Amino acid sequence: MKTTLVIDRMENGWAVLEYAQEGITFSIPSVLMPEGAGEGDVIDFYVSVKDGETHSRRARLKKLLEDNMDD
């Protein structure tokens, strides 16, 4: 999923982002922002699920749970 956001402000290590379509704001650590990004900048925000890594993680956790349930 890709959407457009506006950087409302940067404060105390956080970037406050505005998602105008939904009328909401939310914060993320400012270290995740593109270099040189600042207040008022319009950015593309992209999120995806890594299917392979998700599957591996779930399998590892399932095995851990099963191993501990045997005790």
Q: What is the mean pLDDT of the chain?
A: 93
pLDDT at 70: 66
Alpha-carbon distances, residue 55 vs 11, 12, 23, 37, 63 (angstroms): 36, 35, 34, 34, 12
Residues 6+ apart with CB under 8 A from 6: 17, 18, 20, 40, 41, 42, 43
Structure tokens, 68: 């501990």
Q: What is the CATH number of the domain that holds 15?
A: 2.40.50
Q: List strands edge to edge, sheet with 24-29.
A: 24-29, 14-19, 2-11, 42-46
What predicted TM-score, i.e. pTM, was given to this entire model? 0.72
- Residue 19 belongs to domain spanning: 2-69
**Domain count along the chain:** 1
Which of 18-22, 27-31, 62-66 is most confident? 27-31
Write the pLDDT tens digit of every residue in 12-26: 999 999 998 888 999
Task: Name the DSSP letter for residue 70.
Answer: T
